Each structure stands twice: as C-alpha cells, then as structure tokens.
C-alpha cells in the first residue's frame, strides 16, 4: 500500500511540479532573449539578380546591423520557389533560418497537386513592400486604353495572345485574372523568364503581357512599350500618369509582387517580436525607402498578423483564378 501524503511531502511535490512548469519556460525565455547569438541564413527561393533577390540583399545588409549578427543570403532557386520554401519549412524554428517570402507562397498551394511542403509549416514574420505588375502593349498596336484592349480581344476571341514568364507565375495569373474579370479570351504563350517575354512583345510576337514594373520601366520610359494600367489599388509613384486596372473598369483588381520575411512555423514569440521590430525599422529608414523605390517598389510594412491576413486573401484569390483557368502543375 502506498504511504499517505503528509503536509510536508505534499508541499515538496507542489514545489517540484512548479519547478517543472515555470522554470523551463523561464529558461527558454532567457535563451530567446540572447537571440541572435550566431549568423542568420536568409533563404531566397529565386536566382540572384531578380527582384526578390535584390530586395533580400538590400534588407539583409541593414538587418545585420540592427541585430548585430551577419544575415547571409542563400539562393535556393527552383520549382517556382518551392525548393527554397521546402528548405525553410524543414529548418528548426529557432530564428536562424528565414525565408524571403514572395507571392509564390500563396500561388503554389493553388497550383501544385503535390506540393513538397505544407503551407502551415511556414509563417509570415512581416511584409515589407509591394511591386505592381503592369499591363503592357506595343505602341504600334494602336491600343491606348484597357477598354481598347478588351474590345479588340472580344472582337476576335482567341486571336490575341499574351506572354508570361512561365506557367504558374504572378504574371501568368495576373493575365488569367484579367480574362476572368473581362470575359476576354486571350491565348497564353509562356516564355522562360520575363526578359524573354518582354523581348517577344517588343518584336510583335505577342499582343500583350503583364510584367513586374521594375523589369520593364526602362522600356516604358523609352517609349518602346506602352503601359495601360497597373495592378495595384493605388497608382505607382514610378508611373503616376498610368491608371490602375480598378480605375480602368476592373473593380477590385488587386495584384502585387509583394516581398517579406517568413520563418518555420513555431518561431518563439520573443524572436518574432524582435525580428519584426528590426525589419520595420530597416524598411522605414530613408535610405532603404529610396533604394526600394528605385526598384519600382513601395515600402509597405505589415507585422505578422497583418501579413498573414494579406497572404490568406491572396491565396483565396489565386485558388479561384487557378480553378477558372484550369491550371494544375505537377
């Protein structure tokens, strides 16, 4: 028979239980307070030289100064950004592996039948800025307004075509959203990258395309391409004379190539808070703001809850567009 508990033994048991439930979280918090104690890896799921990579390198340099530890950019391109996402999703949730987030995180779940990671494995830390896509035509087309383009496309269903930088990209889905909202039937011609698609439009091989504004702003300013509208709710500071698609009759049209930082799910709250505060400070510094704007982007800080809500809205939109366009990738 087990001995009965005395008042003294009961007290000892209570103290022991308290030490198990209180002290470990306290010790964990103390360890988190020392973060970061070593270099941080920022995984970029695209090749060097693109918009997301450029933003990662800009932010990482200043973030390292704020945190007092190196922030090392690690490019892991492939599979539409999925390889880099997998790399981050499988990393420990300790704050030493981060992911440069982009619309691929909200597009891929709608397109890939066998996504190599679960979206729940990654959580946003902050959204840092947005880049509008821009609807382009060749000046020789004679099209000067979105309404002209829609009328021409509807007059000859399937005769007009559009270029993109590949299947399942933000540019591809922007055009499919355009088709969904206008009822126009325009044929998709995918190219290997935005540069090849722009070259095709310049050569008159295709009739139109959506592009990230930074990629084509030089051609627009030189008069070699005509910008009909931008895809964000507000006009771009880089092209203030160009209307939005919403202003052009496509109510609620809202697409942007946003960029931010995500981390393996379960990142401790104190680490999220410190990282978010550092990122907010970095992205609001005048030098950083100017550098981002030179890329054709706009700083737009959102903390983790706001970023999660924005990403959920994007994911819902792309799910609808993928179903409309019957897009599914392996």
**What's the pLDDT tens digit per position in 239-282?**
999 999 999 999 999 998 899 999 999 999 999 999 999 999 99
What's the CA gap between 322 and 176, in Å, rounded?
8
Phi and psi at 246, nearest 5°, equal: -65, -40
Stronger pLDDT, 3 or 162, i.e. the higher one = 162
Q: What is the predicted pLDDT for the residue at 329?
A: 85
Rounded to an integer, what distance in angstroms lies between the CA atom of residue 166 and that of residue 189? 8
- What is the band of 33 on the pLDDT scale with cuts at 50, 70, 90? low
**pLDDT surpasses 70 at 10:** no
Instruction: Decide if 80 contacts 104 (C-beta within 8 A).
Output: yes
CA angle (131, 137, 143) in 5-degree steps: 125
Percent of the chain scored above 70 by pLDDT? 90
Three-state SS at 25:
helix
Report the pLDDT averaged over residues 207-216: 92
Cis peptide before 34 (omega within 30 of 0): no
Tell me the pLDDT of the chain averaged across its residues: 88
Q: Each residue of 180-197: pLDDT tens digit? A: 999 999 999 999 888 899
- For the record, the structure tokens of 111 come out as 């397109």
pLDDT of amino acid 281:
97
**Which candidate, 174, 201, 185, places its Cα nearest to that of 150?**
185
For residue 237, count CB atoms less than 10 angstroms from its CB and return exposed for 0-12, middle for 13-18, buried for 19 or more.
exposed
What gap in Å lies between CA 318 and CA 103, rounded to an integer? 10
- Strands across the sheet containing 122-130: 71-75, 40-44, 97-101, 259-264, 122-130, 298-302
Decide which of 217 and 144 is more confident: 144
Query: Which is it for strands 298-302 and 208-212: parallel, antiparallel or unpaired?
Result: unpaired
Element (H, E) at 12: helix 7-33
53 in Cβ contact with 81 (< 8 Å): no
Other beta carbons within 10 Å of 232: 24
The span from the CA of 65 to the CA of 278, in Å, is 10
Task: Indicate the pairing of strand 133-137 with strand 226-230.
Answer: antiparallel
Nearest to 100 by CA among 120, 69, 79, 71: 71
Mean pLDDT across the stretch 94-100? Answer: 97
Residue 119 pairs with which residues in a beta bridge?
A: none
Say yes or no to pLDDT of 26 above 80.
Answer: no
325 to 6, 165, 289: CA distances (angstroms): 73, 17, 37
- 36: pLDDT confidence band, cut at 50, 70 and 90? very high
User: What does residue 56 show for φ and ψ, rounded to 5 degrees?
Assistant: -60, -45
Tell me what the mean pLDDT of segment 152-179 comes to. 93
pLDDT, position 257: 86
* Spatial CA neighbour of 300 closest among 257, 241, 239: 257
Interatomic CA distance for residues 97 and 109, integer angstroms: 22
CA distance 112 to 116: 9
| pLDDT tens track for 102-141 | 999 999 999 998 899 999 999 999 999 998 999 999 999 9
């Amino acid at each position: 028979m087990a001995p009965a508990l005395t008042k003294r033994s009961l007290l000892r048991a209570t103290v022991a239980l308290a030490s198990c439930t209180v002290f470990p979280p306290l010790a964990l918090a103390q360890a988190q307070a020392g973060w970061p104690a070593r270099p941080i890896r920022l995984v970029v799921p695209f090749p060097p030289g693109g918009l997301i990579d450029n933003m990662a390198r800009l932010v990482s340099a200043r973030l390292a100064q704020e945190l007092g530890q190196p922030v090392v950019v690690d490019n892991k391109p492939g599979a539409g950004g999925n390889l880099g996402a997998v790399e981050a999703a499988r990393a420990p949730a300790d704050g030493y592996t981060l992911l440069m987030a982009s619309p691929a995180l909200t597009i891929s779940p709608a397109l890939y039948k066998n996504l190599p990671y679960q979206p729940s494995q990654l959580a946003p830390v902050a959204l840092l800025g947005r880049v509008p896509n821009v609807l382009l035509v060749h000046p020789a087309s004679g099209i000067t307004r979105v309404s002209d383009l829609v009328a021409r496309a509807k007059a000859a269903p399937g005769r007009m075509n559009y270029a993109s930088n590949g299947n399942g990209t933000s540019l591809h889905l922007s055009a499919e959203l355009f088709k969904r909202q206008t009822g126009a039937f325009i044929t998709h011609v995918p190219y290997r990258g935005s540069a090849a698609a722009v070259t095709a439009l310049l050569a008159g091989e295709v009739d139109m395309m959506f592009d990230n504004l930074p990629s084509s702003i030089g051609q627009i300013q030189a008069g070699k391409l005509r910008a009909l509208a931008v895809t964000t709710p507000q006009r771009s500071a880089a092209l203030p004379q160009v209307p939005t698609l919403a202003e052009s009759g496509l109510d609620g049209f809202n697409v942007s190539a946003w960029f931010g930082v995500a981390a393996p799910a379960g990142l401790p709250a104190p680490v999220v808070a410190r990282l978010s505060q550092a990122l907010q400070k970095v992205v609001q510094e005048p030098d950083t703001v100017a550098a981002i704007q030179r890329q054709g982007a706009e700083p737009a800080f959102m903390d983790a809850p706001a970023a999660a809500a924005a990403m959920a809205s994007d994911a819902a939109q792309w799910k609808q567009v993928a179903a409309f366009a019957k897009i599914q990738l392996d």
